[in-house]
Amino acid sequence: MWMAVTREVSPALGACELSYVERVAIDVPRACAQHGDYRRVLEALGCRVLRLPAEPWLADSVFVEDVAIVLDDVAILTRPGAASRRDEVASVGALLGGYRKLLAIEAPGTLDGGDVLLAGRTLYVGQSARSKADGIAQLRALLAGRGYTVQGVPTHGCLHLKSAVTQLAGDTLLLQPAWVDRGRFSEFRVIEVDPAEPHAANVLRVGDALVMPASFPRTRQRLLDAGFQVSSVDVSELQKAEGAVTCCSLVFRTDD
């Protein structure tokens, strides 16, 4: 069974951390409605959606992807690069502890889950403002002997690695070449985002299906033309908080 851990939108979303997008007013009730639509898309794709309550004092807490990395046998609780986000970890960890053995990134290391792209048994980790060398080294040490490889990947011009590249299938990636070196993924078939849609590389994979923001129709058509099943959802208010579709859930398999 596919599980999807989500958290309700904080009423303080407008005070979110921002790095590469301009701050504009966020319609929080509309963001909540869009988040509900997002959950329903996940349910339609066969996910059992778990909903954590909102944490009103934690503006970015809807973006649960950043606080954990869920693998087949363990979950790694991160230490987010933004200090304002570190209190988000405990409640997500309490839920994940029912499904996985928990490991954790410790101070002074920092690592955001949005910087971690799992492809096969390799974890590509963005070397970003949020995920530093110590955090990446800790991740490598935590996974030593478990059959995983951890590779650092420089990013530029974007918040996280998964702002620039996400997986469409086992052998195929969607990539924004302005933000990450395509040569780092030479073993994959690569589909590039439409040049008119620079933020379109963040796509959520659930089995053989894909979920992407409705605001990128040209890139969506590229994926449809390549034979992919794509569901689109309006997450425009969440995008104003520098989020997208991978950010809002932790999707993993369970035997339950």
Is the C-alpha dihedral spanning 41, 43, 49, 55 positive or negative? Answer: positive
Question: How far, in Å, CA of 62 to CA of 52, rounded?
Answer: 9
Q: Mention every residue, 6+ apart, whose C-beta is less than 8 A from residue 128.
A: 81, 112, 115, 155, 158, 159, 160, 161
Beta bridge partners of 152: 125
What are the tokens at 252? 């993993």
Instruction: Return the active site residues.
Output: 160, 247
**Which residues, in sequence order, are CB contacts of 188 under 8 Å at separation 6+?**
119, 171, 172, 173
d(CA 191, CA 201): 9
Neighbour tally for 56: CB within 10 Å: 11
